[in-house]
Structure 1
Amino acid sequence: MKRTLKKAVSALLCVTMVSALAVGCGSSGKKSSGGDDKESLEVWMPPLSENQDDKEIWNKILEPFEKEHNVKVNVEIIPWGNYEEKYLTGVTSGEGPDVGYMYMEMLGDFIDMGAVESLDDYLTDEEKDNYLYLDNGKIDGKQYCLPMIVGNAIVMCYNKDILATNGITEVPDNCSWDQFIDICKQVKVGADGSSEVYPLVQRWGNPSMSTLNASFYPYLWQSGGSIFNEEGTALAIDSEAGKKAVQFLYDLRFTHNILPDVVTSLTNDDCISYFCEGKTAFVEMESSSTVQFDEANVNWGFITSLTNQEKGTFVASDSLVLMSNAKNKDLAYSLIQYMLDGESMTEYHQSARFAPVAKDEEYHDNPAFKSVYEEDGEQLHTLSPAKGASKIGDTLYKNLQLMIMGEMKPEEVISESVSYADTILNE
């Protein structure tokens, strides 16, 4: 998802508040306000719709459920800027939701706190057959969540006019790292044949670690690596795959001079502007942002992933979870079922355009990327949930930023990031 900020959950705060979770009475199962006898359910969601009218959309979708179950569903839309902190405060005070929306980076901490319920005893065989991405919600062998938003894949976009002006007729679908470097080195001028142009820009001036999803993790996966080990007990970039990925990024900047100095200050919006204005031949971009390329009349194309040992790129996978503090867990799970029903999701995804998460849902995402989800599924990777994943990712991002600025070497990035991760994972 397009997030402007994802702050890390403080591990110290988690430790000091875990005891509160055990004694928190919870807000779930309250009677609704207004003096009637209806039970109420609390749902916490982020803003995802194009017009930021998620609450209105969900209120409409959930009306039949409320009538059928004689329940009031209160949907609270929480801004991205304090999303994890809001959950931490709510859960530890016993005032959290019954049904929550969580992204992968935050799941590990809340599972570790015992705040999220396993869904293995709730899932039906029919649901297992219908849902497309159940494996994304399995953590430590348990089904802790059901994916609700899977999409917004990072793809490698290119300006066809710039490449043609520089004598490049195609970007092969199986474009290797070496081929990509060769193509980038051929880019000298803009589409008009004279203006200055960059081969590739990246968003290393972003205030958040979402840059890793576009400009580091794909290289790691393309090298056959993973972010954490299988047990989730160690940052796994101190491997041959990790070393290749960090070195490739370093070489793009300092060996081949493909990444310009300006990338140290560029944000995601800056990269979009550079591409729309014809100032860069390539940009790694979320699929949802490419609508701006069309609006700017850019003659553009994309490949899903570069190729090294294999192909691989990032896809968001955010899920609905049943909170352990929910008083009426059966009713809360029924709400999850209703929200993920094909009819509900088809209606919701008309305003929040993402790919279907189940077989009974219609496709409403950009048709240009339909093949990415239907044919390139093996290339799409989600983030790995682990204890302290946000803090570890933030530190890795800062170290890579320093490398891009010329202040750290690849081996230092790896050793310092792994060392820091060990202190968090072994607390």
Structure 2
Amino acid sequence: MPPFGTGDTLDKEFWTTATASFAKENNVDLQIEIVPWEKYEEKYLTGISSGNGPDVGYMYNEMIYDYVNMGALEPLDRMITDAERDNFYYLNHGVMTGKQYGLPIVVGNARVLYYNKDILDAKGVQVPKTWEEFRTAAKTLTDGDKYGYVMPWGDQASRALNIGFFPYLWQAGGEIISSDGKSVAFNSEAGIKALKFINDMKNVDKSMPDSVTSMNHDDADQYFLSGKSAFIMEGTSFASQIEKQGIKWGFITSLTDQAAGTFIATDMLILTKSSKNKELAYKLMLHMLKGDTMTEFHKMASFPPIAKDEEFHDNPLFKSLYENDKSAFRTLPVARMTSKIYDYLLKNIQLVMIGQSTPEKALKDTEAYANSLLNE
């Protein structure tokens, strides 16, 4: 499992407590491991390749396809009941190659553009709606040691793309992967426009601090929470941290250029093929996902419900977001080798941010690498 609390220890304590009754009832010794986001995919690949993977694991959608191709995951179709199908909201996101490989655990956490109301009001800046309005606002709000926008361009996990590049690519009218899954689509007019927009905000307008190239997600979050940045893009779960700081805040679902578009998570619990007791492991998955467990989980990590047996406990400000702004939500495409492609793309964009590459070169180089993988 990855960490969702304020640290790995909190998550381990939560899941140990949440599964204690299951362990006792079934007389099993459950070992729970929390793996930092930066090492998550590497840990998975090493574990499963060596035969030391988990019985039950957490995978984000872009990971699953490659493990299905490896034959490492167990289809759940024979175990899932009609009642369970009726209860879960997002089962379709766990279907790969016509089979059910995942049960939803986190679907939501839409990335939105947060703003500090006091900072905007002090400068008389209106809430932006378009790219150009946002760029102008960020420049206006950059003053001394305070900046318009902060991004985690030092993060080593490709999730940084979910706030740093993909939303802007979609807003420019672009796509990540071609419709047939055989080539990438981001080296396009839209892709170059999106990356140039972000690069110009950092390296031309100076609306971001130079230190963003060494910031991970937590660093960027703390920068905003300390009042040093007017804007940050983060998941809806981040709102609870903002409120703890007493910051007056608002959010923008999506800026627009050619279209609206922002990332929404589709993360699953999976069952590995190597599990020696698959029926018991599947029971554990259901225990982890039942309404009572998810209610407590969502007190630690604010997400919308994944099933009918839980009420909406997320920030009420986001209820209308999830009900009315769904047309802006985009998930990452399901295709081969996407984890490797995204890692390579992130590294090339980071070179742009530190001034050692250009948007055109970064996307062209990544396209060549990615298409070689997709056509192996």
Report SS of the residue matched to 2:231.
strand
Other-structure match for 2:310: 361
* Alignment coverage as a number of residue pairs: 374
Residue 77 of structure 1: how far off its partner (Å): 1.4
Residue 60 of structure 1: how far off its partner (Å): 4.1
Query: What whole-Å deviation, never above 9, does each CA across 1:245-282 have from its counterpart, x for those lacking one?
Result: 22322333355554454433333334334323433222
Query: What whole-Å deviation, never above 9, does each CA across 1:23-71 have from its counterpart, x for those lacking one?
Result: xxxxxxxxxxxxxxxxxxxxxx334345634444444444554566x45
Match runs of 1:315-330 below 5 Å: 315-330=264-279
Query: What whole-Å deviation, never above 9, does each CA across 1:307-352 have from its counterpart, x for those lacking one?
Result: 2232222233221112112333333323323322223322333334
TM-score, normalised to structure 2, is: 0.87
Report SS of the residue matched to 2:201.
helix
Structure 1 residue aligned with 2:80, among 108, 123, 138? Answer: 123
Q: 1:49 to 1:386 in 2, by over 3 A?
A: same
Distance 1:247 1:237 in 2: 13
Distance 1:257 1:86 in 2: 37
Match runs of 1:236-275 below 5 Å: 236-254=185-203, 256-275=205-224
Other-structure match for 2:32: 76
Q: 1:99 to 1:266 in 2, by over 3 A?
A: closer
Q: 1:402 to 1:349 in 2, by over 3 A?
A: same
Distance 2:286 2:182 in 1: 32
TM-score, normalised to structure 1, is: 0.78
Report SS of the residue matched to 1:232.
coil
Structure ranking higher in helix proportion: 2
Other-structure match for 1:33: none
Residue 201 of structure 1: how far off its partner (Å): 2.3
Q: 1:130 to 1:308 in 2, by over 3 A?
A: farther
For the 8 Å contact 1:353–1:366, the answer to whether it is kept is: yes
Does the alignment pair 1:283 with 2:237? no
Q: 1:397 to 1:82 in 2, by over 3 A?
A: closer
Consecutive unaligned residues in structure 2, runs of 5 or more: none
Query: What whole-Å deviation, never above 9, does each CA across 1:355-412 have from its counterpart, x for those lacking one?
Result: 2111211233334433333332332333334333222111111111111222222221
Other-structure match for 2:137: 183
One-letter amino acid of the counterpart of residue 144, structure 1: Y
Other-structure match for 2:153: 204
Q: 1:230 to 1:124 in 2, by over 3 A?
A: farther
Distance 1:82 1:253 in 2: 27
Identity of aligned residues (%): 48
Report SS of the residue matched to 1:350.
helix
Distance 1:306 1:294 in 2: 23
Residue 73 of structure 1: how far off its partner (Å): 5.3
Report SS of the residue matched to 1:238.
coil
Report SS of the residue matched to 1:76.
coil
Residue 160 of structure 1: how far off its partner (Å): 1.5
Other-structure match for 2:69: 112
Other-structure match for 1:230: 179
For the 8 Å contact 2:54–2:275, the answer to whether it is kept is: yes
Moved more, 211-220 or 345-354: 345-354
Residue 114 of structure 1: how far off its partner (Å): 0.6
For the 8 Å contact 1:49–1:353, the answer to whether it is kept is: no
Structure 2 residue aligned with 1:134, among 83, 91, 99? Answer: 91
For the 8 Å contact 1:166–1:188, the answer to whether it is kept is: no
Report SS of the residue matched to 1:74.
coil
One-letter amino acid of the counterpart of residue 369, structure 1: F
Moved more, 214-223 or 282-291: 282-291
Distance 2:235 2:213 in 1: 20
Cα RMSD (Å) of the superposition? 2.8
One-letter amino acid of the counterpart of residue 114, structure 2: C
One-letter amino acid of the counterpart of residue 187, structure 1: L
One-letter amino acid of the counterpart of residue 131, structure 2: W
Between Structure 1 and Structure 2, whose CA radius of gyration is higher?
1
Structure 2 residue aligned with 1:221, among 170, 185, 192? Answer: 170
For the 8 Å contact 1:305–1:311, the answer to whether it is kept is: yes
Other-structure match for 1:375: 324
Other-structure match for 1:335: 284
For the 8 Å contact 2:16–2:32, the answer to whether it is kept is: no
Q: 1:76 to 1:273 in 2, by over 3 A?
A: closer
Distance 2:151 2:23 in 1: 46
